[in-house]
Structure 1
Amino acid sequence: MTPDDDISDPDVERATDGGVSAGAVDERPSSETEFVDVFEEGDLDLRAGADNCYKCTTCDMSCPVAEVDEEFPGPKFQGPEQWRLKRKEDEDIDDSIMSCSNCMRCDSACPSGVPLSQMHNEARGEYVDEQMSTLSTEYWRNRILSNYRTSAAIASKVPRLANWAMNFGPARWLMERTLGVTKEREFPDFATETFREWWTERGGAAVENPDKRVAYFHGCYSNYNTPEVAKSMVRVFEQFGYEVMVPPQGCSGTPMFANGMLDDARRHAETNVAELAAAIDDGADIVASCTSCSLSLRQEYPELFDIDRIEDVAENTFEAMEYLRIYEDIEGELADAELGGEAFAYHGPCHARNQGLHRQAVELFDDVDGVLVEDVGDSCSGISGTYGWKEEKYEKSMTIGEEMFEHMDHAEGDVGMTECPTCAMQMEHGTGYEIRHPLELLDDALVR
């Protein structure tokens, strides 16, 4: 060692088992080192979620679309892999993203918490905004299906004429040829009196109770097509002493998320958040009778939008039966109820599964005399909102639903039950069964 060798110099290292030669400079990063951001972020902070994926393919195994469509690459590619690809310059979103049905079963399946559906929603939105031609038939078909609330509001002004026209054979054929909306499905009837019309005619809430208030998010379908579900919800909650509020509201955005129409969804979300936050300030919790609506408010809104009070709305939203099971002794009330020997084939919607609610109807009615609610399995119904209404996806939706149809055929009852309106369409379409909502059964048992 020479006098110039200073073993105390922190920048000098001696030979190690790792092969660093004596005198090598330590290149470990200092506190002032600037790291390179390999994947630039978009509007959504998804880097951490993408890094959580360890490619186990559990999500792919749970995907009902991947099971029937050999060309669909599956949730793992559509989520973390495509997220990384689209961080690179000039890298387009793969058009297969439009084949994702947004059932969100991949979220439930993932063992490491990767926000798969959030990634899919962002990718769909980017694909529609930047790659899909606004002059294409697909774009306008998807936009019409996504904005069902707009067409339903128009049709409900002349419901009898609309019901005839929408199911007139040549009209359905024409819609398939021009827009790509399958002619194989019958359009649901529009009610002659919407729920909100009934609510106004009734004079609003029949119970005033500032200590027990709920704001009802009824959604589009219960307002325009199945107001009996919404009426049952009101009667059941009033039976438990709740003051029901029905604030102004838009669409939950669920069909818009599935079709990449995020700008449309945001406009509705801004209205919904403002109105529902005001109801929270008045002492109300938010309840929804559709599990897709409750999931949208609870999960997709805060994942996709930065709107004032959006977290308040998400944290105070419940599915209707879930809320009663938490805050009321509904099982005790049902213990004394008797119904007339009814048997139901129950399907738990995918969007109920994401909230841990896909067994609640079976559990709730298990001990009620005269009622049998039989779970028909955990398969997807296949319709996934607007997915099964598209001509090119109709056969796939029916193939996905085959397991559910078969289980329903072997169930003891010949009446179906579900909380999701589009699952109800698929169940009726595939089996011919009448379909009821669990809230209607609660209404029969506790109120009427």
Structure 2
Amino acid sequence: MTDRTDETDDTHRPGDQPEQHRVTDGGVTAAPGREGAIPEEDTNVTEVFPEGNLDLRAGADNCYKCTTCDTSCPVAEVDEEFPGPKFQGPEQWRLKRKEDADIDGSIMSCSNCMRCDSACPSDVPLSQMHNEARGEYVDDQMDALSTEYVRNRILSNYRTSAELASKVPQLANFAMNFGPARWVMEKVLGVTKEREFPEFAEQTFREWWRERGGAHVQSSEKRIAYFHGCYSNYNTPEVAKAMVRVFEHFGYEILVPPQKCSGTPMFANGMLDDARRDAETNVENLASAIADGADVIASCTSCSLSLRQEYPELFDIDGVEDVSDNTFEAVEYLRIYEDLEGELADAELDGQSFGYHGPCHARNQGLHRQAVELFRDVDGVRVEDVGDSCSGISGTYGWKEEKYDTSMKIGEEMFEHMKHAEGEAGMTECPTCAMQMEHGTGYDIYHPLELLEDALVD
């Protein structure tokens, strides 16, 4: 991870230079012996940008307005009214601290894809600035009784509604996709009626885990703690089961500690208090597993990014750095610690072809081509990269009625590439990207772990 602490460049300290060549505020060398110079000991330093909840002064100072972040922003590409991540990040941060100014409401149009972080050549913590600004906007400027706030709170806390729905999955699946009900949700809450709600599984992953008796492999040398996330638990337990079977194939003991939402949808909607509440539970239980000799594994790239980057950026929680330093995405971990390519060299699959989309949150971790690289030499399978465009859904973003058209415009390039790719199936590590891929093409979408299970597990 990039070190974003507030460091001072020693070469620019006035005290480190000869008295006659002190550096002035703009980095310009003062003329020696200039008349009227004020002795340093007689000056009072004014704090122009007082520190807020997060000290981002160093990051703001690193921005030299190159606009690389703006050109990489998928929202700015299709929405002319969106000012882009440069304004939402360092410019708004400075404006807010220099004047008594409100956070601009356009911050809620940022999808939190975090591509700006990867694009910035100066390591400006753009997404961290966006998260702080969103949180401040929601806390101080959004009416808690407004439709937008209530809708965003429900979407952010998906785990709560999913837990209730999973008690009666058949009824929930019918009710959530009943045409009149979807129409009412759009009119009352602003949740688009254009999307079909994902089905809830008849049996959650954690129910299956308890039923099978937990781990089938015991090992003091190879141990992982599985952070399955909400979606793999309630909606696609087949992905979580594939993760378990593949890791057990390699001799790992699997722990499934108590956990809550990773916080990704909460960050995107400015619900930082909710995110911190869940983060405290997650960090406590995952740090305990790490102390017991386990590494943390996530099968969703948004979850792994949240644990790795957003937690330590936003929360001062005991153990958060340990969790960050010891968290991995599932396929990434196997590629590091196991001879995965060697195992796959003898595997054969039945003539399957997939269009692979690398999620934005995989890109931020350098993982957006790992599935293509992993399966390119496996007999009987073809995995074709469908380009580097954003899928457009960005978690809860594409579920909002006012953002639906924007999300589909962003996804057009990906849809087009998928339709021209060989085969009629897709692959991605992100569950919401999978929703968008299926929604825009009609293809079935798989996780790389499911293909690994087919190739390696008898």
Structure 2 length as normaliser, TM-score? 0.92
Secondary structure, counterpart of 1:293 in structure 2: helix
Q: Deviations over 1:239-263 (max 9, x none)?
A: 0000000000000000000000000
Give CA deviations for 1:323-379 in whole Å, capped at 9, x if unaligned.
000000000000000000000000000000000000000000011000100000000
Pairs aligned (count): 431
1:257-303 CA-to-partner distances (Å, cap 9, x unmatched) read: 00000000000000000000000011000000000000000000000
Q: CA deviation at 1:88?
A: 2.9
Match of 1:172 among 168, 174, 182: 182
Question: Where does residue 394 of structure 1 map in the other structure?
Answer: 404
Q: Which amino acid aligns with 2:109?
A: S
SS at match of 1:86: helix
Distance in 1, matches of 2:113 and 2:171, equals 33
**1:126-165 → structure 2 map (5 Å cutoff):** 126-165=136-175
CA distance in 2, matches of 1:64, 1:161: 37
1: CA distance, partners of 2:230 / 2:251 = 26
Residue 413 of structure 1: CA displacement?
Answer: 1.4
2:38 to 18, 27, 46: 27
Distance 1:212 1:155 in 2: 35
Partner amino acid, structure 2, of 1:338: E
Which amino acid in the other structure matches residue 296 of structure 2? Answer: I
Distance 1:62 1:69 in 2: 13
Q: Secondary structure of the residue that 1:257 maps to in structure 2? A: helix
Distance, in Å, in 1 between the alignment partners of 2:36 and 2:168 is: 82
**1:106 aligned residue:** 116
Aligned equivalents of 2:98, 2:58: Cα separation in 1: 17
Map of 1:252 onto structure 2: 262
Structure 1 counterpart of 2:201, one-letter code: A
1:33–1:410 distance in 2 versus 1, CA, 3 Å: same
Instruction: Give, as a single letter, the amino acid of the residue that structure 1 aligns with 2:122.
Output: S
Report deviation, 1:159.
Answer: 0.1
Quick one: distance in 1 between partners of 2:103 and 2:428? 35
- One of 125, 130, 134 as aligned partner of 1:115: 125
Picking from 58, 76, 80, the partner of 1:70 is 80
Which ranges in structure 1 are unaligned for 5 or more consecutive residues?
1-9, 12-16
Alpha-carbon offset, residue 26 of structure 1:
4.2
Instruction: Give CA-to-partner distance per residue, 1:360-409, whole Å, 9 cap, x none.
Output: 00000011000100000000000000000000010110000000000000
Which residue does the alignment assign to 1:198? 208
- 1:163-214 per-position Cα deviation (integer Å, ceiling 9, x unaligned): 0000000000000000000000000000000000000000000000011000
Q: Which residue of 1 aligns with 2:3?
A: none
Match of 1:309 in 2: 319
Query: 2: CA distance between counterparts of 1:383 and 1:179?
Result: 18
* Aligned residue type for 2:160: T
- In 2, Cα distance between the equivalents of 1:20 and 1:437? 69
- Counterpart residue type for residue 285 of structure 2: E
Q: Partners of 1:327 and 1:34 in 2: how far apart?
A: 56
Q: Secondary structure at the match of 1:372?
A: strand
1:4 corresponding residue in structure 2 = none
Q: Distance in 2 between matches of 1:20 and 1:368?
A: 73
| Matching residue within 47, 50, 56 for 1:46 | 56
Task: Tell me, in whole angstroms, the C-alpha distance in 1 between the residues paired with 2:408 and 2:171.
Answer: 29
CA distance in 1, matches of 2:411, 2:366: 21
Q: In structure 2, what residue type is equivalent to 1:27?
A: I
Cα distance in structure 2, aligned partners of 1:368 and 1:360:
14
Structure 1 CA distance, aligned partners of 2:37 and 2:356?
66
Moved runs in structure 1, 4+ residues, more than 2 A?
17-21
Q: What amino acid does structure 1 have at the position aligned with 2:108?
A: M
Distance, in Å, in 2 between the alignment partners of 1:56 and 1:88 is: 22
Q: Which amino acid aligns with 2:369?
A: R
Matching residue of 2:441:
431
- Does residue 426 of structure 2 align to residue 416 of structure 1? yes
Amino acid at match of 1:90: D
Q: 1:269 aligns with which of 255, 279, 304?
A: 279
Task: Letter of the 1:80 partner, please give it.
Answer: P
Give the secondary-structure state (helix, strand or coil) at the position aligned to 1:43: coil
Distance, in Å, in 1 between the alignment partners of 2:110 and 2:266 is 13
Secondary structure of the equivalent of 2:98? coil
Matches of 2:432 and 2:89, distance apart in 1: 25
Give the whole-Å Cα distance in 1 for the aligned partners of 2:195 and 2:141. 30
Q: How does 1:9-28 map to 2 (within 5 A)?
A: 24=35, 26-28=37-39
Amino acid at match of 1:415: A
Equivalent residues in 2 for 1:332-347, closer than 5 Å: 332-347=342-357
Equivalent residue number for residue 91 of structure 1: 101
Larger Rg: 1
Secondary structure of 2:196's counterpart equals: coil
The CA deviation at 1:90 is 2.3
Q: Whole-Å Cα distance in 1 between the matches of residues 450 and 211 of structure 2?
A: 21
- Which ranges in structure 2 are unaligned for 5 or more consecutive residues? 1-18, 21-29
Q: Does 1:223 align with 2:228?
A: no
Aligned identity (percent) is: 81
> Which of 185, 205, 208 is the aligned partner of 2:195?
185
Amino acid paired to 2:198: P
SS at match of 1:370: strand
1:83-107 deviations in Å (ceiling 9; x for gaps): 0011134210000000000000000
Give the Å deviation of 1:28: 4.2
Aligned match of 1:207 in 217, 229, 240? Answer: 217
SS class of match (1:103): coil
Rounded to whole Å, the distance in 2 between the matches of 1:18 and 1:432 is 69
What is the TM-score with the length of structure 1 in the denominator? 0.95
Does the residue aligned with 1:215 lie in a helix, a strand or coil? strand
